C-alpha cells in the first residue's frame, strides 16, 4: 500500500495547518483582549484624573470675607485760594495752548 508523494504532502500540510490555525486565532484574540483592557484602563484613569482636577480646583471666591486694607496717607491738597496769581493765569491759559492764535484771530477780525 503505497501512498503517493502528493497525498503525503497534503496530509502533512493538513496536520501543520490544524496546529497552526488555532494558535494564530488564540494569539489574535489575546491581543484584541489586551487592547480592549488597555482602553478600559485608560478610560478609568481619565475619569479619576477629571475627578481629581475637579476636586483640586480652587474656587473663584474665597470662603472668608476680604479684609479691607487700611487707608494710606492722603496727599494734602492745597486750597484753591493758596494758589494765588498762579491759579488765575492757569484759568486764562486753559484753552489748551491755543490762546495765542485765538487772540490773534480775534484782533484781526478773521473768524
> What pTM does this model have?
0.40
The three cell numbers of residue 6 are: 502528493
Supply the pLDDT for residue 52: 87
In a domain, 47, yes or no: yes
In a domain, 93, yes or no: no
The three cell numbers of residue 89 are: 493765569
In a domain, 101, yes or no: no
Separation of alpha carbons 62 and 30, rounded Å: 53
CA 100 to chain centre: 57
User: In the chain, which residues have pLDDT < 70?
Assistant: 1-2, 58-66, 70-105, 108-111
DSSP state, residue 1 = -
Range of the domain at 52: 1-56
Amino acid at each position: 500500500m503505497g501512498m503517493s508523494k502528493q497525498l503525503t504532502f497534503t496530509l502533512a500540510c493538513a496536520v501543520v495547518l490544524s496546529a497552526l490555525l488555532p494558535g494564530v486565532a488564540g494569539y489574535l484574540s489575546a491581543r484584541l483582549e489586551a487592547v480592549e483592557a488597555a482602553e478600559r484602563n485608560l478610560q478609568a484613569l481619565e475619569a479619576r484624573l477629571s475627578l481629581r482636577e475637579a476636586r483640586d480646583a480652587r474656587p473663584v471666591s474665597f470662603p472668608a470675607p476680604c479684609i479691607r486694607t487700611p487707608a494710606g496717607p492722603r496727599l494734602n491738597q492745597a486750597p484753591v485760594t493758596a494758589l494765588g496769581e498762579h491759579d488765575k493765569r492757569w484759568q486764562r491759559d486753559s484753552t489748551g495752548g491755543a490762546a495765542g492764535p485765538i487772540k490773534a484771530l480775534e484782533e484781526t477780525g478773521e473768524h
